[in-house]
Amino acid sequence: MRKVFEYSHLGGAEILRVRYPQIEKEINEVIKSIKGLKKTKVSKEKTMHGEFLYSPIEINNIFKESFHEKNFKELRDTYTIEIENYPKKIEGAFKQIDFVKDKVLVEVQFGKYAFMFYDMAKFQYFFNENKAAVGVEIVPCHSMHKQMSTGVSYGEQLIYDIERLKRHFPAVPVKVILIDA
């Protein structure tokens, strides 16, 4: 994998570079270490029927293994949902981040656009809980997204939307990394 673009929201890239240079180096090493990706998923979609595509599940598993080798861990907060004047209590609800080291949160997202944006909400949640200093979102660029199933989003859309929201959301420093195979 290679980085094709980096975007810094509220100084996310700068915070990572200055306060967490070793973690930034490890994130870059993980991205660079993923080589020789093959298109192994056979499309069943009408518009691409029979074409070989990149498999998001396979790519996520490779990232998971690589981050775990560098001792990144999962971060999970479990809680009970109780809403005033609502009789139901929901136990075992949680917020979870795939990879964390120190106060650097990392999500690798090859899902639908809503999941990219939900990652921003999770970064905000853990930032508000003082469990994060910066979030890093690793996402496919538009050209890679074209070689995946329909529904997989791309980072340019995320960056475009973050810029239009200005400083309002997320109100947490984030670095977005666009990658390509």
**What are the DSSP calls for 44-96, one per residue?**
-SGGGTT-EE--HHHHHHHHHHHHHHTT-EEEEEEEEEE-TT---EEEEEEEE
**pLDDT tens digits for range 132-163:** 999 999 999 999 888 887 678 899 999 999 99
DSSP letter for 148, please. S
All structural domains of the chain, each given as residue ranges with its CATH number in brackets, are: 2-180 (3.40.91.20)
Determine the pLDDT at residue 99: 98
Determine the pLDDT at residue 139: 95
Assess whether pLDDT exceeds 80 at residue 2.
yes
Adjacency order of strands within the sheet including 2-9: 2-9, 174-180, 134-140, 104-108, 89-101, 73-82
Determine the pLDDT at residue 151: 74
Q: State the pTM of this model.
A: 0.91
**pLDDT tens digits for range 56-105:** 888 999 999 999 999 999 999 999 999 999 999 999 999 999 999 999 99
**pLDDT tens digits for range 5-62:** 999 999 999 999 999 999 999 999 999 999 878 877 877 777 777 777 778 888 999 9
Determine the pLDDT at residue 158: 93
Least-confidence region, from 24-28, 41-45, 125-129, 164-168:
41-45
Determine the pLDDT at residue 44: 78
- As a whole number, the mean pLDDT across the chain is 92
Does residue 85 or residue 165 have the better pLDDT?
Answer: 85
